[in-house]
Chain A
Amino acid sequence: MQQHSPMDSSTPPAANPSRLIISAASIALLGVIWATAAWVTADRTLLPYPSEVAGIFWNEFVSGEIWFHLSATLMRVIGAFVFAMCIGCALGIFAGRKPAFNAWADPWVIIFLNLPALVVIVLCYLWIGLTEVAAIVAVAVNKIPMITVMMREGARALNPALDNMAQAFQMPRLKTWRHVIAPQLAPHFAASARSGLALIWKIVLVVEFLGRSNGIGFQIHLYFQLFEVGHILAYAFSFILVMLLIEYLIVQPWEKSASKWRLNES
């Protein structure tokens, strides 16, 4: 006979409708504050109304201009993100598992964590040149120490009893990584991916601002020189929108599926 625990009937909590209403109201409130500030300022060149920014966004969208710059920035974000995650995860996990390596790596991590992003960007452009490689390396170097620290904490928190279990049952190394270690690191990976994305796209804009000839950062630089606040806001919002889509369509669903088993916890 099937024995059912009280948790057998548990289902994932549905999206809370009141939460969605609050989020929508909160965003609407931001729009109202912005419109009020534009009305008080009464200077369209300094702070245009939200409707004007939406109009600029639509024009750039229809002309295809925004897509060109958005895709250039997105490529840099993806390149820097993948590079930083690969190096940061490898270093972090190794440092968390090997205290001797960590003793050597820790001072480096602290130095790089405290190195201003602007200094790294300028040095990369000076040493490598005003190239795509320099832009991606500059962004990745800024993010790697943070990912290393987060993944190191994850590796330190690995359950040694599960390690012993895998060893006692002579589980193959690859299988142990996939089924025993990776699921334990998943929350740390998701946290570093999320904070990585949030930081990387901001640094990419600075990198483009200082030394690229396309991308959202380049456009912001251009319209800064032309004193076109409406265009600056339209380009900034376009990228915020893309990052929100990545967060809600990729990062959160992945995180949810990786932690699905926790719903069964009694």
Chain B
Amino acid sequence: MKVEIHSKSFGLNQVLGNISLTIGEGEVVALTGPSGIGKSTFVRILCGLDKRYEGQITGVGRVGFVFQEPTLLPWRCLIDNIMLVTGCDAQVAQTALDQVELGDRSADYPNQMSLGQQRRVGLARALAAKPQTLILDEAFASLDEATAARMRELILRVLDGNEFSTILVTHNLEEACELADRVLVLDGSPAKIILDHHIKANQSARDCQTEAALLRSRLNNSASV
């Protein structure tokens, strides 16, 4: 995937500046930065929800999106939610629900489930779409620590060995370092990528606290320069 954004403005307010990056197949990239900096605007552009920007994006392909709010159809049961939205068949939808450990709840309705479970359904829906790019927008926000940890574990398992590119939006550096191979930090006005940090240690040997500390020191250094 190749991203070349020159600018994105809302009226006279330029939100995004020059952003140029390439994301490889199977790469998991965390996009982080302060709240309101333009992370959501960036992913909206990426998945085609916002087409009013200057620049060019190629190679995104089919998108699977896990929204911050689960955005499920409350009038449909879980399996219908997946089948109707992605166009997949019942077997694919059931497999996706099994992957997020909700296989036995396929006939339930979203309103019967907790926020954490609804997010897992959102993840199952994104996986059932057979995406070329998976976007997770603040997928752990508003979850208690135990549920968020379970969700992170689940995502790590789901992402393992997959060939699609993943973009994970978060403002939590530890979370970014735990899940991603590469962390992009968006900051400034208009926002640009001020740091592109590749995590060298592999997933099993990685200490996300140490990685996050390293990232923070790199950020501090770049700020002082």
Quick check: B49 and A167 within 8 Å, CB to CB? yes
Pairwise interchain contact B105-A164, C-beta atoms closer than 8 A: no
Nearest CB to that of B62 among chain A residues?
Answer: A170
**In the complex, the 10 A-B pairs of residues with the closest C-beta atoms, listed nearest first:** A261-B75, A264-B109, A165-B71, A168-B65, A265-B111, A183-B75, A5-B112, A161-B71, A179-B84, A169-B85
> Among A8, A165, A261, which residue has its beta carbon within 8 angstroms of that of B74?
A261
Q: List 11 A-B contacts (CB under 8 A).
A: A164-B44, A164-B49, A168-B63, A169-B86, A169-B129, A171-B84, A179-B76, A180-B73, A261-B75, A261-B76, A266-B111
A-chain residues with CB within 8 Å of residue B129 when the two chains form the complex: 169
Residue count of chain A within 8 Å CB distance of chain B: 26
* A175 proximal to B (CB < 8 A): yes
Q: How far is the CA of A266 from the CA of B65 in the complex (A)?
A: 26
Residue of B nearest to A7 (CB): B112
Count of chain B residues near A, Cβ 8 A: 28
Contact among A169, A183, A262, A266 for B63, CB-based, below 8 A? A169
Chain A residue contacts of B87, Cβ below 8 A: 171
**A180 nearest CB across to chain B (Å):** 7
Q: Which of B62, B67, B105 contacts A3 (CB 8 A)?
A: B105
Inter-chain contacts of A264 with B (CB < 8 A): 108-109, 111-112
A-contact bits for B38-63, CB 8 A (1 contact / 0 none)? 00000010011100000000000011
1/0 per residue B97-122: CB within 8 Å of A?
Answer: 00000001100110111000000000
Interface mask (A168-205 → B, CB under 8 Å = 1, otherwise 0): 11110001000110010000000000000000000000
B residues apposed to A, CB below 8 Å:
44, 47-49, 62-65, 67, 69, 71, 73-76, 84-87, 104-105, 108-109, 111-113, 125, 129
CB-based contact B67/A165 at 8 Å: yes
Residue numbers in B under 8 Å from A8 (CB-CB) = 108, 112
User: Which of A162, A164, A165, A175 counts the most chain B CB atoms within 10 A?
Assistant: A165
CB contact under 8 A between A183 and B73, given known A161-B67, A266-B111: yes
- CB distance B104 to A3 under 8 Å? yes
**B56, chain A: closest CB distance, angstroms:** 19
Contact of A2 with B by CB under 8 A:
yes
Which residues of chain A are within 8 angstroms of B84 by Cβ–Cβ distance? 171, 175, 179
- Among A1-22, those with CB < 8 Å from B are 1-3, 5, 7-8
A164 to B73, CA, bound (A): 13
Among residues of A, the one whose C-beta sits closest to the C-beta of B80 is A179
B49 and A179 contact, CB distance less than 8 A: no
Q: Which residue of B lies closest to A265 (CB)?
A: B111
